[in-house]
Amino acid sequence: MILRSPRTYKYTGDQSLWLHIKPLKLESQASMGRIEPTVTDTGVELAFLMPNEFQETIDHTWDSYESMIGRAAELFTNIRKEWRALGNTLSTLPSAFEAMQKAGFTETSWKNLAYTAARTLATTEAVSNYRVDFPLVYKNSERRRFDVSVTLINEGGGYVDVVRPVKQLMYYSSPARAMEKQRVPTNDPVGPTIEVEVPSLIDIVLPHVFQVWTMPGKTIYFRWAALKNIQPTYKGPFIKGVPTSCELMLSFTDVEPLFSDFIFPDAKKVNYKEAYKSPK
């Protein structure tokens, strides 16, 4: 069953865009990101009327390539700069020591030596115009992100229309306390113990992941997405304690690492020669 919001909006596939969200129970995950998680269907599906604009974001990291040759070139460049500075400093020492001999090796003469070396270095050392260039190479890609804001309206159902869809998403996106069995004594001091379930002190039940897509057309499609942020803004007037509407911000992040073949949800229907053709 699809829980649609708004409920009374006439569904027309050609004139509206709907966001479908299906929570999937996350049974287990492998330690390697490319191995698919184990999920089971909950039988729950929510659909929201999409706004006129929404964002889908991907980020790539490109950085300078670090190699042994490049680091060596950078090291030699720094050595050359320091050697030039050292040469300028050493050139001032003979005249400075001669002045110290005449004045005697006093505290003042040592200060003058330091001052002379610093002044000579500042006035004779030019800025070194060196630069070691490294190629810019691909390093990584962030997982896809999808941010959207949908509006929930009280259409007479009150809590069911405005609050319950928000609480459902909060429920499925949050971990649950795992239960464990323990044996506890009964009121009878000599009687047998009984087995009861109590919340575990450390174990949890994993949050659900979500299959997310838009219809028609699947402009947005995630096989498994983590719902990382839920931000409802309830608005009045409040009728019997229930808000009249709610602006619901949702932020999804893809569970799967980003690869180019995930961009098109149905590869059989995509002409890749056309999709990847460079613009003229």
| Claim to verify: residue 102 and residue 165 sit in the same structural domain | no
| Residue range(s) defining the domain that contains residue 15 | 2-59+141-176+207-275
Output Rg (C-alpha) for the chain, integer angstroms. Answer: 34
Q: Which residue has the higher pLDDT, 199 or 224?
A: 224
pLDDT category at 272 given cuts 50, 70, 90 is very low
Regarding whether 262 and 247 lie in a shared domain, the answer is yes
Task: Establish if 170 belongs to a structural domain.
Answer: yes
pLDDT, tens only, 207-239: 999 999 998 878 899 999 999 999 999 998 998
Q: Per-residue pLDDT tens for 164-182?
A: 999 999 999 999 888 777 7
198 within a domain of the structure (yes/no): no
Are 260 and 216 in a shared domain? yes
In a shared domain, residues 25 and 116:
no
Instruction: Say whether both 163 and 254 belong to one domain.
Output: yes
What value does the mean pLDDT take over residues 95-103?
A: 59
Q: Is residue 133 part of a domain?
A: no
Residues 277 and 258: their CA atoms lie apart, in Å, by 21
User: Is the pLDDT confidence value at 70 over 80?
Assistant: no
**118/223 same-domain check:** no
Q: Would you say residue 91 has pLDDT above 80? A: no
Residue 23 and residue 46: Cα distance in Å, rounded? 9
pLDDT digits (tens, 9 = 90+) for 122-134: 555 555 566 667 7
Confidence at residue 101, expressed as pLDDT on a 0 to 100 scale: 58
Q: What proportion of the chain, given as a percentage, has pLDDT over 90?
A: 31
In a domain, 187, yes or no: no
For residues 81 and 129, give the distance between their C-alpha atoms in angstroms, rounded to a whole number. 10
Is residue 197, in this structure, part of any structural domain at all? no
In a domain, 136, yes or no: no
Residue 83 is assigned to a structural domain of this protein: yes
The predicted-structure confidence for 34-46, as pLDDT tens digits, reads as follows 778 888 999 999 9
pLDDT tens digits, 237-268: 998 889 999 999 999 999 988 888 778 766 54
3-state secondary structure of 226: strand
Residue 72 lies in a domain: yes
pLDDT the model gives residue 83: 64
The pLDDT, as a whole number, for residue 27 is: 87
Q: Is the domain of 86 the same as that of 220?
A: no
At a CB cut-off of 8 Å and minimum separation 6, what does 207 contact? 26, 172, 173, 174, 175, 226, 227
What's the confidence (pLDDT) of residue 16? 81
Same domain, 46 and 85: no
* Residue 27 DSSP SS3: strand
Q: What would the pLDDT profile of 132-153 be if each residue is shown by its tens digit?
A: 677 888 999 999 999 999 999 9
Mean of pLDDT values over 200-208:
84
Q: For the stretch 160-192, what's the b/e string if a residue is b when 16 or more beta carbons lie within 10 angstroms of its beta carbon?
A: ebbbbbbeebeebbeeeeeeeeeeeeeeeeeee
* 163 and 255 belong to one structural domain: yes
Do 240 and 168 sit in the same domain of this protein?
A: yes
pLDDT band for position 31 (cuts 50, 70, 90): confident
Cβ–Cβ < 8 Å for 250, 147: yes
Domain count, the chain: 2
Q: Which helix (H) or strand (E) holds 18?
A: strand 18-28
One domain for residues 106 and 217? no
- Indicate if 11 and 44 belong to the same structural domain: yes
